[in-house]
Amino acid sequence: MRGRKSKILFLIFLCICCLLPPLLRADTTILMLGDSLTEGPGLKKSQAYPFLVEQKLRTQGFSSIKVINAGVIGSTSASALSRLKWYLRSNPDILLLALGANDGLRGLSTVQMKHNLAKTIELAVSKGIQVVLAGMKMPPNYGAEYTREFERVFDQLAKEYKVVFIPFLLEGVAGDPKLHLPDGLHPNERGHQIIAGLVYKTLVTLDNFSKNKVKGNKPR
């Protein structure tokens, strides 16, 4: 009798597991590959937007979400591919690619930046990782032609590889002193909260995100 009861309870448990949303049962790892804008210099890790996004997702029921803050101060798009290769050991399901700001600030080649980011996207796609590309913008003092070409890189990549696109990672933050540290370059705690809100809204719109079906994006 006891054995029969145990079997019934086990079957009930299996039925409940099958009814639960897959995301609540399986880990989903989001790799946020970026520079200092992602790392959050001058802030605690818990104040940077990757951590805030993870907490927001968990409070919304996505309890098994794991977000990796892979931001490195001073990094450019040149490091993107090698760094993604290193992080593949973490088996990321989603890649937020947020690099290029330092390329622009240093006036580096937009052609080379596009090549670097393209190779990174291609690697992610080949591994079945869904890509979210975060665009950046340069201040006007870098010249109209350069700023135009710089911004166009992100738009072109998003269209060519059909990846989810955030046109400007610092939307609502850039240019507002109240949302930056004293250096005027890096967002403060409040600034990161705004970035986190933008990234969160993008992530939850991913196809089949709630069902934990993460698929890579293939170029034409």
> What are the catalytic residues?
36, 183, 186
Helix residue ranges, H only, the chain: 2-19, 36-39, 49-59, 80-87, 101-105, 110-126, 144-161, 189-203
**Among 38, 36, 42, residue whose Cα is nearest residue 73:** 36
∠ CA 129-169-79, nearest 5°, is: 55
End-to-end CA distance of the chain: 61
What's the CA gap between 135 and 152, in Å, rounded? 9
Structure tokens at 48: 């940077």
What's the CA gap between 114 and 111, in Å, rounded? 5
Q: With beta carbons less than 8 A apart as the criterion, state whether 212 and 72 touch.
A: no
Structure tokens at 217: 């994006």
Question: Which residues contact residue 96 at a Cβ distance below 8 angstroms, ignoring those fewer than 6 apart?
Answer: 30, 31, 32, 33, 34, 132, 134, 199
